[in-house]
Amino acid sequence: MHLLENILAQNKLWATNMVKDDSEFFSRLVNQQTPQYLWIGCADSRVSANQICGLLPGEIFVHRNIANLVHYTDVNCLSVVQYAIEVLRVKHIIVCGHYGCGGVIAAMQNRELGLIDHWLRNLKDLYLQNKEQIDGIEDQVAKINFMCEQNVRQQVTNLCHTTFVQNAWKNGQNLTVHGWIYDIKDGHIRDLNACYDQVEQVPEIYRIKD
């Protein structure tokens, strides 16, 4: 039986070092959780929100799934969004994708992969919507990266169509939704200028009326 002793040992070392640097670090974590940010990102093991943002535990609330999708039927994601907005009262929601995303690549192909095919179905719809522009890009990597960016923009849009986000705005809550993308090759995050902070930015057909 493998007990992953190396990871348990690394955990003890990490905890010891944290206390050395700040003796009250864990007591503060126990007594409060007041992050200003909700991160909706890809489950890719190379994209760790706290690490790439330079934030400590407790400073960012995180939800991750394959290809950083915001599905209207995903109770898990929507529950996180509601809790972050209504209980934690975060000020920023960041949808962050990454270049070379395996989920995006899979959605651009016709291979059968199993259950994930259903999860990525909306990404195939997005690909079809952008097919003319994608076909005009010669470089294959550039095609994928363009699609990764479009995916982030679409998920930001999906998020802003939810009642949770719109009700926060209508109630005067300070909340901004951002679309970012991360480049694993250099570790830099790029702002895609997909930023929303008021219901007037949402097309009228998607606005929730009183």
Active site residues: 42, 44, 46, 98, 101
Overall size of the chain counted in residues: 210
Element (H or E) spanning 37, and its range?
strand 37-42
Return d(Cα 61, Cα 126) in angstroms, integer.
Answer: 27
Return d(Cα 201, Cα 176) in angstroms, integer.
Answer: 12
From first CA to last CA, the distance across the chain in angstroms is 58
Element (H or E) spanning 50, and its range?
helix 49-53
3-state secondary structure of 63: strand
Residue pair 34/81 in contact by the 8 Å Cβ criterion: no
Both tokens assigned to 96: 């962050």
Residue pair 90/35 in contact by the 8 Å Cβ criterion: yes
Residue 146: closest CA among 181, 116, 193: 181
Return d(Cα 154, Cα 72) in angstroms, integer.
Answer: 12
Residue pair 53/137 in contact by the 8 Å Cβ criterion: no
